Amino acid sequence: MLTNIIVLDSFTEILKWFTEIVDLNLFSDDFYKLLFRLVVNLVFMTIIIRYLYYPITKRKDYLFTYYLIGLITFFLCFALKKLDIGTGMGLGLFAIFGIIRYRTDAIEIKEMTYLFLIIGISVVNSLASKKISLAEMALINVAIVSVTYGLEYLWLVKHLTRKTIIYERIDLIVPDRHEEMKADIEVRTGLTVNRIDVGKINFLDDTASVKIYYYADEQAFSDYHND
């Protein structure tokens, strides 16, 4: 008798769950809003990532990162807005921007700026409401893309690129022999070095981690874009 009651209760719960699913709307009114905003967001993300950032840096690893972080940010903000959770929205945004600070690998300032740019444009496109018209949303996106393009291709025409090397002439890392170290690195790499920063020094191996900065547009070694 007890077994029959348990089976009946389980069947009732399953039937109730199935009924709730059937009652759900396949498409809500916000579905088309989500679809439109997603298309707009993907278009402007592609312009920034693929046609502004990548031609200069040639770093394919960040293409993967920027696209996925942008999409996740967009969907997360849209979902939080639809649920109308004020505190949850604040905590969600805090968590999103928290990944910028609590990271394992160091990210360059430029890559960090583009990451912030992708997150920001995704938030704007996902949170646009009746108080923000389509024209205003379009203006925000176009303004961001235009300023980024202007800074990258019109104003800052020279792009300072960094390369980290392991340098064994540890006797030259002292400040008094800076010019001699710079000349030695230029002869070895064939690059015209703009400036040099000395990082970690290993006295056991007599090596030092040295960051060299140069203008990539004027150099023949395009593979020096990556660390």
Where does residue 58 fall: left (phi above 0), alpha (psi -120 to 50 degrees), or beta otherwise? left
Average pLDDT over residues 136-165: 82
Share of the chain above pLDDT 70, in %: 66
C-alpha 55: how far from its chain's center? 16
* Local confidence band at 225 (pLDDT 50, 70, 90 cut-offs): very low
The kind and range of the H/E element at 8 are helix 2-23
> pLDDT tens-digit profile of 38-48?
999 999 999 99
The predicted pLDDT at position 99 comes to: 60
The predicted pLDDT at position 21 comes to: 46
Contacts of 45 (CB under 8 A, 6+ apart): 66, 67, 70, 118, 121, 122
> Over 50: is that where the pLDDT of 123 sits?
yes
> pLDDT tens-digit profile of 186-224?
898 888 888 898 888 888 888 999 988 887 765 655 444
The predicted pLDDT at position 46 comes to: 94
| pTM, to two decimals | 0.60
Average predicted confidence (pLDDT) for the chain: 76
The predicted pLDDT at position 226 comes to: 47
DSSP label at residue 9 = H
